[in-house]
Amino acid sequence: MDHATLTTHTGRSSHTAPSSHTAHPPHPTGSAPSRSAPTRGSDPRADADGMAVASFVLGLIGLLLFNLVFGPCAIVLAGLALARGTGRRGRALLGLTLGVADLVVLAVLVTVNDAVFWHFGG
């Protein structure tokens, strides 16, 4: 059996329990690294799934607010998600459709009201 030997300040040796693991040096900042922090090698498919969901949400919000901003963002995110092979293909296609619908609503508003925002009432 392999035992680690420690020498005390008086010069005497004492034996400790068998060493089954090596000690790790402390983290440079003094605290343990966060386990939820993204890593460089994160799963690209998970990123694509997030893009599909973001595309859907932005496209949906864009129907009511900031069509000119959220519509193109939804289209770009949906395209990226589809190109990266998302598992949420339907959600990405909905985001793409809603992004295009945002731009159509914007075109209708500009044509009918000569404005780029919703106006209810008379």
50-78: average pLDDT: 93
Total residue length of the chain:
122
Q: In 3D, which of 59, 58, 46 has the Cα closest to residue 87? A: 46
Indicate the range of 32-36, 91-95, 104-108 predicted with least confidence.
Answer: 32-36
Q: What is the pLDDT of residue 45?
A: 79
Structure-block tokens of residue 113: 């009201």
Q: In 3D, which of 101, 55, 61, 60 has the Cα closest to residue 79? A: 55
- In degrees, to the nearest 5, what angle opens at C-alpha 76 toward C-alphas 71 and 78? 95
Confidence of residue 27 (pLDDT cuts 50, 70, 90): low
**pLDDT one-digit tens code per residue, 65-80:** 888 899 999 999 999 9
Q: Is pLDDT of 39 > 70?
A: no
Structure-block tokens of residue 84: 């990266």
Structure-block tokens of residue 98: 């809603």
The percent of residues above 90 in pLDDT, for the chain, comes to: 42
Q: Is pLDDT of 18 > 70?
A: no
Q: Is pLDDT of 56 > 90?
A: yes
Q: What is the pLDDT of residue 64?
A: 87
Q: How many CA atoms lie within 13 A of 28 on its CB side?
A: 0
Q: Is pLDDT of 43 > 60?
A: yes
**Amino acid present at 114:** D
29-44: average pLDDT: 58
